[in-house]
Structure 1
Amino acid sequence: MNSQRIWRIGLTGGIGSGKSTVAGLLARHGAAVIDADAISRSVTATGGRAIAAIAQAFGPQMVGPDGAMDRQAMRDRIFQDVQAKRQLEAIIHPLVSQITAEQAQHALDTGHRCLVFDVPLLVESGERWRRQVDRVLVVDCSTDTQRQRVMARNGLPVQDIDRIITQQASRAQRLACADVVIANESLNLLELEAQVSQVAADFGL
């Protein structure tokens, strides 16, 4: 691959796949990692860019004493009103896109030639994310491995983990969207680092 070009890579994977570890390893190779999930959380946190619009659209009771969105109150509202979910997304998604673009431009201005967009729900978002990246990199493992890792990491009961897994795209759906796959089934950290190093080299890192 041409090491002089600028690459925009969409990184995704199911819960427990090791996606965050891969993102960190790519950053060590010199990629600029832009975390869409962190950006989404930031706009509804204290002082976040979405807070004023949320208060205006849903009422001041949706903003807690700390100035952040009251997530439980919003979950309850969305559960009762499907339109409220679309209304919230209409506030949050443009802001996430704006901040993502700002971070990407800053990365380019500071000399990065490989931008990695860490997007947990990239496949679920359809074309919204796919059309913004050159390649989709999927970190893949079996559902059993996902369960084992999340239980060890978070101590969640199996039924809670399975509920999260069923809310995400299936393994087959992610693989169908993948241009590059890192198979993180039974790798130790050194073996995973070797796979990531090869992928990084392919993108000029």
Structure 2
Amino acid sequence: MLHLALTGNIASGKSTVAALLAQHGATIIDADVLAREAVAPGTPGHDAVVDRFGTQVLAADGTLDRAALRRRVFNDPAARDALNAIVHPAVRRLRDDAVGAARERGDRIVISDIPLLFEVGLEHAFDGVILVDAPESVRRERIVHDRGLSEAEAQSMIEAQWPSDRKRAGATWIVENDGPRDALAPRVAAVWEAIRHLAASREGR
């Protein structure tokens, strides 16, 4: 089984690329989905977050209010580290379970979608890294347009992650997403062909 990582900075279009790769036949393991599972009501992760941050980060139905939690930790590095210390180990266990299940099914190409792959130092744990990238100005415009935030807020979100150049240096494949979706699909298809050939070579075909 070929196990790859997919990453990209905010508003790079990583989720769109993940959906296109799934259409080509990849098994996608989404870190955002796992993160929600890790802190679902009734889990140790949920209890730990509430113990650390209080009931003000809960929605009316008892689930975590992710927006409120994000606001709570965004400009507080100590709080963000505390949250990561709760969530990341649980997500890692869930990812390991999902990868194990994919291996048992005989899936050939498994791609773990991990937004902060480089920031948490996981890039060397995979057979290759796919980076989705777009110029900072394009990503800032997308954040403002799609999320209704100010340019200052968008810039703050961009600066909270590693710069693209640093990630590009560690990527195996780069998908440029600086234009419309109809330009993105053939770029993803080209990367998929390279991945498929790598998987075949590992199988000795």
Number of the residue aligned with 2:15: 20
Query: Counterpart of 2:102 in structure 1: which amino acid?
Result: A
1:14 Cα deviation from its structure 2 partner: 1.4
1:163 aligned counterpart, secondary structure: helix
How does 1:143-182 map onto structure 2 within 5 Å?
Answer: 143-182=136-175
1:178 Cα deviation from its structure 2 partner: 0.9
Residue pair 1:182, 1:195 contacting (<8 A) in 2 also: no
Residue pair 1:141, 1:183 contacting (<8 A) in 2 also: yes
Q: 1:196 to 1:148 in 2, by over 3 A?
A: farther
1:10 Cα deviation from its structure 2 partner: 1.1
User: How far apart, in 1, do the equivalents of 2:104 and 2:92 lie?
Assistant: 18
Residue pair 2:21, 2:188 contacting (<8 A) in 1 also: no
5+ residue gaps, structure 1, are 1-5
Comparing 12-21 with 192-201, greater Cα deviation is found at 192-201
1:137 Cα deviation from its structure 2 partner: 1.1
1:121 aligned counterpart, secondary structure: coil
1:33 aligned counterpart, secondary structure: strand
1:184 Cα deviation from its structure 2 partner: 2.3
User: How far apart, in 2, do the equivalents of 1:22 and 1:69 lie?
Assistant: 27
1:88 aligned counterpart, secondary structure: helix
Q: 1:69 to 1:199 in 2, by over 3 A?
A: same
Number of the residue aligned with 1:185: 178
1:131 aligned counterpart, secondary structure: helix
5+ residue gaps, structure 2, are 201-205
Query: Counterpart of 1:39 in structure 2: which amino acid?
Result: L
Residue pair 2:175, 2:188 contacting (<8 A) in 1 also: no
- The number of residues matched between the two structures is 198
How does 1:9-88 map onto structure 2 within 5 Å?
Answer: 9-57=4-52, 63-71=58-66, 74=69, 78=73, 83-88=78-83
Kindly provide the CA deviation profile for residues 109-164 of structure 1, in whole angstroms up to 9, marking residues without a partner as x. 222121111111111112xx123211111112211221233344334332222111
TM-score by length of 1: 0.80
User: How far apart, in 1, do the equivalents of 2:120 and 2:104 lie?
Assistant: 28
Number of the residue aligned with 2:110: 115
User: How far apart, in 1, do the equivalents of 2:96 and 2:134 lie?
Assistant: 30
User: How far apart, in 2, do the equivalents of 1:80 and 1:184 lie?
Assistant: 28
User: How far apart, in 1, do the equivalents of 2:14 and 2:67 lie?
Assistant: 27
User: How far apart, in 1, do the equivalents of 2:81 and 2:143 lie?
Assistant: 30
Q: Percent identical across equivalent pairs? A: 35
Query: Counterpart of 2:153 in structure 1: which amino acid?
Result: D
CA RMSD of aligned residues (A): 2.8
Number of the residue aligned with 1:3: none
1:34 Cα deviation from its structure 2 partner: 0.8
Comparing 179-188 with 102-111, greater Cα deviation is found at 179-188
User: How far apart, in 2, do the equivalents of 1:11 and 1:202 lie?
Assistant: 18
How does 1:83-98 map onto structure 2 within 5 Å?
Answer: 83-98=78-93
User: How far apart, in 1, do the equivalents of 2:15 and 2:72 lie?
Assistant: 31
TM-score by length of 2: 0.80
